[in-house]
Structure 1
Amino acid sequence: MTWNETSPPLASMLPNTRYFELESSTVGGSFGVWVTVPPRYESEPTARYPAIYLPDGNLMAPLTAPHTMMIRDDPINPIQPHIQVCVGYVGPDVDRQLAVRARDLLPPGEPLLPTTSAESLNLLVEAGLLDADAAKLYLHNLQNPAADKFLAFLVEELHPLITAEFRIDDASTGLFGYSYGGLFAIYAALQRTIFSKVGAGSPGIIGFESKVFQLYDSEAKKDSDYSDRMLHITVNETEITRVSAYQAYVGVGTAEFITHAGKKPLRGHVLSSHIIPAQSHATGNTSSWFSFLRQCYSQESPEMEIMRQG
């Protein structure tokens, strides 16, 4: 018996998924985009679906896209069918995405963690996670973040391409991010762009120093109208209960932001939060994603609808 190593087609791993690459003039970088449509997309030619965008696409596409085959018809927690748009990196940026994503996901002027230095980033080199050049790039991007440009890329460059190619319902466009992606999601939610349903999983918020606190207070002072907008924030249990760097820089900051926002809610805004049981920062991203879907895109199961109608 013999076996052969091959490069399988995308469809063998990610059903109903198409892959695109594009250059962003706004960001000045290249991106890969995985677009996954619901299973009955072709057989329902008049139906339109909300688009949900996810940064960190190289990781999130293989983690989340396969579940689109099942979650619509889940008899317990059915999810509204949607088009999932995962945005990641291509070429050399794939190997150094830990460094590149800091450019795209941190708000402009975001303060550095107290422990961040060239010496501390060398630990990533010693661990084999980055090479020396990528570590230097990481520090540069942490010091010069540009989430405003990445947000403009999603809204002004990518979304028009998505709406031209797929049947999109713009009434409830979504965004979900995890870790620094969660920080980006909160930053984007407070810009009042196309994203009306936003999920932030374990956001990398520095307590009362992150730019999102200032942005939130500015929106509250202006009495901005956030009607029909939702923000769902999750944090993993062990990020709160276990002593680690995540406790200080994720658990505490997330709790402070939820408390701060709860004390002075934005007009019309729906804020919700959930603690993901047992998970750590390394394992909680898919659970956070499903928590967001259940909170913001749930739909009634056929069994419950029959019971309700009596």
Structure 2
Amino acid sequence: MRYTILPALVLFVIACNAPESTSPDLKKPPSAKDTLHLYSNNVHDSFTVYVNLPADYWLDRSKHFPVVYLLDANLYFDIMATVLNNYAAVGLAPPVILAGIGYKDFPAMDSLRNRDYTFPTAIAEYEMPVSGGAPQFLAFITNELAPSLDRQFRTDTLQQTLMGHSLGGYFTCYALQQRLAGKQHRFRNYIAASPSLHYNHYFLPNELKNEVPARHDSLNVYITFGGLEKQDSLCRQLPLLFPTSITKKIDIYSALDHMDTQLPSFIKGLQWQSGMMNP
């Protein structure tokens, strides 16, 4: 078994307009969309980070905005930026800074996401040439990328969200487990669409079950699965894995399969976490 993005989605990406690949000029006001190129000393590799600013960013120069960190940005950034811009304009989504973490191109993402989104090293049956790098990737986000964005943009450091799908959802849950263990304190909100929690024989759910939570502020967790994934048993167990102090919501999209849940999950998760929909 090999975790890859389906070929049909490649055609979707090609049809979208890719963000302009230029580094921001910090002497000028930020544009609606910026592209940053960062080398990570933790991962020992380079990343392309796409930034979309809300329309409200220029209305009040003293206002700071929540940041949403989106994984698999080569695939999802364009569509999510467009949806968030349009939804925010009519009050259906919160105004946020969207930071999409991507790679130099789509083929690189389809390969290196296995390296960056997983921990521990994959068992042999998954046929992953590289894996297990989630600790280094999380360190890149929290210690290198996020401080850089905090310096360049008016970010609300107390309202930051991480969201991902499939292995990206697994990494999102891994970051939550690290937060509960007191090993990172960047994110308050987590959105995981169809997380691959079966990875390495349910390693991460077992870790969450055995975790003794460190002291933490209020956390919000939104997890979804497609009804066609047949994860009913896992969905019943998941609420029991998290401390009672965590605000959590687990949704099943009955007519959707694994590769269909990402976009509705991201939108509904952001709406729920911002109080735009009923819990």
TM over 0.5: yes
What displacement does 1:271 show?
A: 1.7
Question: d(CA) in 2 for partners of 1:265 and 1:101?
Answer: 26
Question: d(CA) in 2 for partners of 1:101 and 1:208?
Answer: 16
In the alignment, residue 225 of structure 1 is paired with which amino acid? R
Matched, 1:26 2:42: yes
CA contact 2:225–2:251 (8 Å) conserved in 1: yes
User: SS where residue 41 of structure 1 aligns?
Assistant: helix
1:19-75 deviations in whole A, cap 9, x for unaligned?
111111100111100011111211221111111101111011112011222222435
Matched, 1:229 2:243: no
Aligned to 1:87: 101
CA shift in 2, pair 1:276/1:9, >3 Å: closer
Q: 1:141-152 counterparts in 2 under 5 A?
A: 141=130, 144-152=131-139
- What's the C-alpha RMSD, in Å, of the aligned pairs? 2.3
CA shift in 2, pair 1:207/1:40, >3 Å: closer
Sequence identity, in percent? 24
Aligned to 1:36: 52
Matched, 1:197 2:189: yes
Q: Which runs of 5+ in 2 are unaligned?
A: 1-16, 21-30
CA contact 2:84–2:93 (8 Å) conserved in 1: no
Matched, 1:281 2:271: no
Computing the radius of gyration from Cα coordinates, the structure with the larger value is 1
Aligned to 1:124: none
Matched, 1:270 2:247: yes
Question: d(CA) in 2 for partners of 1:295 and 1:237?
Answer: 20
RCO higher in 1 or 2 (8 Å CA, sep ≥ 6)?
1
CA contact 1:51–1:174 (8 Å) conserved in 2: yes
1:79-129 deviations in whole A, cap 9, x for unaligned?
221111000001xx63232221100001224545x5x34xxxxxxxxxxxx
- After TM superposition, the score normalised by the length of structure 2 is 0.80
What displacement does 1:209 show?
A: 2.3
Report how many aligned residue pairs link the two structures.
246
Runs of 4+ with >6 A deviation: none
Question: d(CA) in 1 for partners of 2:18 and 2:240?
Answer: 50
- After TM superposition, the score normalised by the length of structure 1 is 0.73
Question: d(CA) in 1 for partners of 2:57 and 2:113?
Answer: 31
Q: Which runs of 5+ in 1 are unaligned?
A: 1-7, 118-138, 241-250, 301-310
CA shift in 2, pair 1:273/1:10, >3 Å: same
